[in-house]
Structure 1
Amino acid sequence: MTDEPLDDAGLDGTWSDEAEWAEFDGTGSTDEESAPVPKPVLAVVGRPNVGKSTLVNRLLGRREAVVQDVPGVTRDRIAYEALWNGREFTVLDTGGWEPDAKGLQGAVAAQAERAMEAADAVLLVVDARVGATATEEAVARVLRRSKRPVLVAANKVDDQRMASEVHSLWSLGLGEPMPISALHGTGSGDLLDAVLEAFPATPREQTGRGAGPRRVALVGKPNVGKSSLLNRLTGEDRAVVDSVAGTTVDPVDSLVELDGEVWRFVDTAGLRKRVKTASGTEYYASLRTKAAIEAAEVAIVLIDGSEPLTEQDLRVLTMVVEAGRALVIAYNKWDLVDGDRRRQLEKEIDRDLVRVRWAERVNVSALTGRAVAKTAPLLRTALDSWDTRIPTGQLNSWLSDLVAAQPPPVRGGKQPKVLFATQAQSRPPTFVLFTTGFLEAGYRRFLERKLREAFDFTGSPVRISVRVRERRKDKHGRR
């Protein structure tokens, strides 16, 4: 994690002139997010497998929503940012809406209903090849009472022969149905124009929050309790929860007020396999989970405290650290942990989590709410460390004293010298050492440990890179 060269960052290598270090003078800055402008919201609803997620991807102009030729792939309500004719708006993709559904499908339908309640306009997607079913007629009755603009998209009109089937959808009483093909893009431009016309002048919900909340990714293996924890934090059934592992497929964004501060939490799909070995829906869900981690500032990795640590747990932790994100480890289901399991877990932590000893840890129960409120202070501590920048003068004064007391080990009969150092960047803190020779991995770990003791980087990874000075050639070309 921190004991290998950062080749991908372009920081390891050689240097020939001390003036070169000026580009790493430690005075870098971070871009502040501008205040978001309120955007209208479009909810895309319909029964399962009518092509909602395919249409969402078409409206966005990019592949975002998970799509597979199996009903019920989308289960939560997922927000995506869209742009058409210079106007920005938010698209809510939802799971299949089946009125009076029970169990998992009932929870999915509830998410669709909540999306409709929060939207400024609703887009009902119908399979033109099937026509209006009893489900669509029931949905139409709800939409007619909603007092929101409603558009009907007759999807899967892939050729002119299907165009005549569209007129039957007038029976829904929601206005003129628009023939489209989400797969081929036919009619999508006209549909987007109609969507913009349907939006009110002022969005229903004002969501601007200054510079924006800090972004937190909830990650972990399947069925570890991520969605349950998100629902506990939000105080509502924000994410679909079921005892079946893998219920969450897309990342789910939620604004959560915790300890007097608003955070943006992202619930992600549980990671079973490496992205390279996953397939189908799981492959795209893994890609989106990886993207959610990279888009976040801090990650809460949930681990089932009642079960032994697994390879999946360690893989998720590695993914977060390699992404350079601040880290909080939450041991969930603590209400199921007895004394014997606690002692066993302590041994597992000492043995398997030695490389993330710096991470903040908390024992929680999403079911009972135990210690959930303690996550906010830990998140702040981790983010403060992640944002920390050490002035170059202070860093070099500390480093010269440390190296004098504990010089690098001899390598190849010569002892390398550490000439000076600078913090190349924060988020995560990355330090570049300019030396006369390569520093062993063990010495880098020693430096990291001392950095943490001196400057307190609790909750954040620390990266150390070495740049070795090239020996100058004499007039005969010898070094």
Structure 2
Amino acid sequence: MLPVLALVGRPNVGKSTLFNRLTRTRDALVADQPGVTRDRHYGFASYDGQRYIVVDTGGIGQDDEDIDSQALAQTRAALEEADVVLFVVDSRQGLMGGDEMIAEQLRRIDRPVHVVVNKSEGQVGATAVAEFHALAFGDPWAVSAIHGDRISILLAHVFEHLPAPRAQVLPHQRGAIRLALLGRPNAGKSTLVNRLLGETRMLTQDAPGTTRDAVASEFSFDDKPYVIVDTAGIRRRARIDDDVEKVSVVKAMQAMEAAQVVIVMLDAASGLSAQDIRLLNMAVERGRAVVIAVNKWDGLEGKQREKLHAELVKRIGAFDYLPLLFISALHGSGLRDLMDAIQASHKAAFAELSTNALSRTLEDAVDGHSPPAIHGRRIKLRYAHQGGRNPPTIVIHGNQTQRVSDEYKRYLMRRFREKFDLFGTPIHLVFKNSDNPYVGKSRKRRS
């Protein structure tokens, strides 16, 4: 499982800036409301090839007692789900009473704690951290989140002393296809798992939020092994009031990272929400194959079905290459189509593509529609080869490839997708400029 780093500290010490620095602002699940600082933010990050999850908490010590109590609850929940805690303090303000209050809480938990002295730009490290030794968490680290100063040194230390993961979700059968089931509360995820398992293994009821943890289960379909992880429903941030549900967001992100195919389940009665779009974005950004399953389809009348189908096709937009299935987890209808789509998406994600076939497809695509010239200079795309799988990565060589427009990249993706049947998975295109062997050499004149 991915390790979790929690950022805790008083308001305005720079936790959000550090969060953005670590995640490079790529956080698909953040849904802020103006002035609501008690909410936690979640984001993926990577350091030296190691992926991890960052959790940013609301600052403790605000004027509003209600907000402060909720921020305190947020911090406690973040500590429970964290593998490592980065305790952020402010070098300019110095050691404050609020810092000591937070430190008292941190001493009660069994987690590594690193004191991060932010806003230390322009200061000698030893001077910036001197008074924070009193917190008694070892040597403090002087950094500047806004400028990125000494962040890499801090992360090197953190990952060098990273504890072993507390839990893992691994298939019990070798070669099993790993699935993650994501969606809003009460979309019917546990009912689908029970249908696949052929038993009532998970508690299901009408009340949203029955499942509170990520649960891995084995099953076979068409003699093929699978491991499916049902996660607690992910709600819009402002609607999460229970600490246990907030913790489950991290588990859902971890399950998705470990999965090969992600099933995003929608409730037919609720339609496609902004949060569903965020889930789709998050899965695609992580390079996961995705299948969209619309559950409780049997509960709609004919005209309602037609209206919902038209709406989904229109709103899915950029995700039109993802399979869209209509099922009833309760009655089992549409299950065969769902599993066929999962198998096809998994096959596409792990497809092996020959250099000859890729290069011919590239040549045909360019012949059919050449990339537009830039400032009168033509862009030449010469050949392509596979650079990776899960997701399929296609490396294209040529000249001036850095000038290829996003529109033309989408055109190429569409041509590759149609040629090699790469539906159900994102495609990554990597462009490389071919070296000119004559660059830097003087031309010899003929005598």
Relative to the length of structure 2, the TM-score reads: 0.57
Are positions 1:322 and 2:285 aligned together? yes
Asked if 1:355 is matched to 2:318, the reply is yes
Distance 1:239 1:356, change over 3 A: same
Aligned to 2:98: none
Shift of 1:225: 0.7
Could you tell me how far 1:418 is from its partner in structure 2? 0.7
Q: Does 1:232 align with 2:195?
A: yes
Counterpart in 2 of 1:448? 413
**Maintained 8 Å contact 2:173/2:225:** no
The answer as to 2:395 corresponding to 1:432 is: yes
1:216 maps to what in 2? Answer: 179
215, 219, 226: which one aligns with 1:256? 219
Matches of 2:180 and 2:253 in 1, distance apart?
10
Does the 8 Å CA contact 1:360/1:378 hold for their aligned counterparts? yes
Over the aligned positions, Cα root-mean-square deviation in angstroms equals 3.2
* SS of equivalent to 2:196: helix
CA shift for structure 1 position 309: 1.4
Partner of residue 397, structure 1? 360
Does 1:462 pair with 2:432? no
After superposition, where does 1:186-197 map in structure 2 within 5 Å?
none
User: After the TM superposition, which segments of 4 or more aligned residues of structure 1 sit over 4 Å from their partners?
Assistant: 61-64, 182-185, 207-210, 469-473
Residue 351 of structure 1 deviates from its aligned partner by: 1.9
What is the rounded CA distance, in whole Å, between the counterparts of 1:474 and 1:232 in structure 2?
Answer: 66
Contact 1:238 1:254 in 2 (8 A): no
> 1:291 is matched with which residue: 254, 266, 272?
254
CA distance in 2, matches of 1:455, 1:278: 46
- Counterpart of 1:223 in structure 2: which amino acid? N
Q: Residue 254 of structure 2 aligns to a residue in which SS? A: helix
* Distance apart, 1:261 and its partner CA: 2.3
Max Rg structure = 1
Q: Check 1:261–1:474 CA distance in 2 against 1; reply closer, same or farther (3 A cut).
A: closer
Q: Which residue of 2 aligns with 1:302?
A: 265
Matches within 5 A, 1:23-172: 63=83
Q: Which amino acid aligns with 1:440?
A: S
Which of 206, 212, 230 does residue 267 from structure 1 map onto?
Answer: 230
2:269 and 2:244 map into 1 onto residues whose CA distance is 29
Q: Please give the alpha-carbon distance, in whole angstroms, between the structure 2 residues aligned to 1:298 and 1:398.
A: 26
Shift of 1:279: 8.2
- What is the rounded CA distance, in whole Å, between the counterparts of 2:171 and 2:276 in structure 1? 36
Contact 2:181 2:264 in 1 (8 A): yes
- 1:379 has 2:379 as partner: no
Instruction: Describe the SS at the equivalent of 1:215.
Output: strand
> Using the alignment, how far apart are the partners of 1:184 and 1:448 within structure 2?
48
Secondary structure of 1:464's match? Answer: strand
**For residues 338 and 417 of structure 1, what CA distance do their matches in structure 2 show?**
53
- 2:361 and 2:415 in contact (8 A); partners too: no
Deviation at 1:402, TM superposition (A): 2.3
Q: In the alignment, which of 364, 378, 382 is matched to residue 327 of structure 2?
A: 364
Per-residue CA shift, 1:267-323, capped at 9, x if unaligned?
012111369x99843332111101101100001111112233111111111111111
Letter in 1 for 2:188: G
TM-superposed deviation, 1:420: 2.0
- The amino acid of 2:416's aligned partner reads L
Alignment check: 8 A CA contact 2:171 2:178 kept: no
User: Which whole-Å CA distance do the structure 1 matches of 2:337 and 2:431 have between them?
Assistant: 38
Q: Which letter does structure 2 place at the counterpart of 1:373?
A: R
Shift of 1:431: 1.0
In structure 2, the CA distance between the partners of 1:274 and 1:466, relative to structure 1 (3 Å rule), is farther
Asked if 2 retains the 8 angstrom alpha-carbon contact of 1:219 and 1:300, the reply is yes
Deviation sequence 1:345-402 (CA, Å, 0-9, x none): 2222232112121112221111222122332222111111111021112211221232
Distance 1:228 1:473, change over 3 A: same
Higher RCO structure, 1 or 2 (CA under 8 Å, sep 6+) = 1
Q: How many residues align?
A: 282
CA distance in 2, matches of 1:415, 1:184: 61
Task: Tell me how far 1:467 sits from its aligned partner.
Answer: 2.5
Query: 2:361·2:416 contact (CA, 8 Å) conserved in 1?
Result: no
Q: Separation in 1 of the partners of 2:411 and 2:419?
A: 12
SS in 1 for 2:384: strand
Q: Letter of the aligned partner of 2:362 in structure 1?
A: L
Query: Unpaired runs of 5+ in structure 2?
Result: 1-23, 25-75, 85-107, 112-169, 443-447
1:333 maps to 296
Gaps of 5+ in 1: 1-7, 9-53, 65-181, 186-206
Residues of 1 paired with 2:415 and 2:110: CA distance?
59
Is the CA contact 1:326–1:459 (under 8 Å) kept in the aligned structure 2?
yes
Using the size of structure 1 for normalisation, the TM-score is 0.54
Change (3 A) 1:279 1:447: farther
